[in-house]
């Protein structure tokens, strides 16, 4: 068997690297949560950033797993203490990302997945630009987006109309992302998003272990 030249010298995954903050955004119903779940199920090297939220848990959601469910007073205390990397007010509820675990995790080479909207993306990018990778997922059409929301069967007509109105606003910010993927086939979309994630992990600036590795390759005479 011929050896693969890509792995002939060293498994580059063994070199230390700084972690990244991998953001998935999309209008509601365009598929970001489905893609996020697929990534988490297939890639053990990335974990979901668990947000705090003031909304009540939905059926099947677990506190500390899907979200940290808190009340308005607790949320405001986190805002006042500057303990959130980002936060936003979405559909009558607040969502935010706690700072503490993220900062240390990045240093340790851990990757974090964010399922957040445009507001949160902007805040996160302003505070951690070099660590952030922004991916926006577009629906194949507005008509299909509307159909997907209705097929859920979880929202009233009023809520669906609000989500569709917000979708147009969200889509208008597509050019503020590093990558844009059209989700006309969920498996193909997932493959493209994984390609982005793998490539971003290999950026030279994140491969902090390369410094010592290259020094060992080129010792002084």
Q: Looking only at Cα atoms, what is the longest distance across the chain?
A: 74
Domain 15-49+110-217 has CATH 3.40.50.300: yes
What is the per-residue pLDDT for 10?
Answer: 42
Task: Tell me the torsion sign for CA atoms 95, 98, 99, 102.
Answer: negative
For 19-49, give one letter per residue: b (16+ CB within 10 A) or e: bbbbbbbbbbbbbbebbbebbeeeeeebebb
**C-alpha closest to that of 164 among 177, 155, 176:** 155
- In the β-sheet with 21-25, what is the strand arrangement from edge to edge? 46-48, 111-115, 21-25, 132-138, 179-182
What is the per-residue pLDDT for 12?
Answer: 52
- 10 Å Cβ neighbour count for 115? 18
Contacts of 196 (CB under 8 A, 6+ apart): 133, 135, 179, 181
Quote the radius of gyration of the chain (alpha carbons, Å). 20
**What letter does residue 12 receive in the DSSP assignment?**
G
Transcribe 194-219 into DSSP letters: HHHHHHHHT-GGG-TTHHHHHHHHS-
Contacts of 204 (CB under 8 A, 6+ apart): 210
Ordered mean pLDDT values, 10 residues apiece, the chain (221 residues): 38 79 91 92 92 89 88 94 87 86 89 90 91 95 81 74 84 95 95 97 92 88 73
Q: 20: which 2 tokens?
A: 């990244």
Q: 86: which 2 tokens?
A: 């980002």
């Amino acid at each position: 068997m011929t050896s693969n030249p890509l792995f002939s010298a060293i498994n580059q995954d063994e070199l230390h690297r700084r972690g990244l903050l991998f953001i998935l955004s999309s209008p509601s119903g365009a598929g970001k949560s489905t893609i996020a779940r697929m990534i988490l199920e297939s890639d053990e090297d990335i974990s979901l950033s668990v947000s705090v939220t003031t909304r009540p848990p939905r059926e099947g959601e677990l506190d500390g797993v899907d979200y940290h469910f808190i009340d308005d007073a607790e949320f405001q205390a986190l805002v006042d203490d500057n303990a959130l990397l980002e936060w936003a007010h979405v559909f009558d509820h607040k969502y935010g990302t706690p700072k503490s675990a993220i900062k240390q995790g990045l240093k340790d080479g851990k990757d974090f997945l964010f399922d957040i909207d445009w507001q949160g993306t902007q805040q996160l990018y302003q505070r951690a630009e070099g660590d952030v990778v922004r991916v926006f997922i577009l629906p194949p059409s507005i008509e299909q987006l509307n159909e997907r929301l209705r097929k859920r069967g979880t929202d009233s007509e009023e809520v669906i109309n609000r989500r569709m109105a917000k979708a147009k606003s969200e889509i208008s910010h597509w050019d503020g992302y590093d990558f844009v993927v059209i989700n006309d086939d969920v498996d193909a979309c997932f493959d493209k998003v994984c390609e982005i994630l793998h490539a971003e992990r290999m950026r030279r600036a994140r491969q902090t272990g390369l410094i010592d590795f290259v020094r060992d390759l080129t010792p002084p005479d």
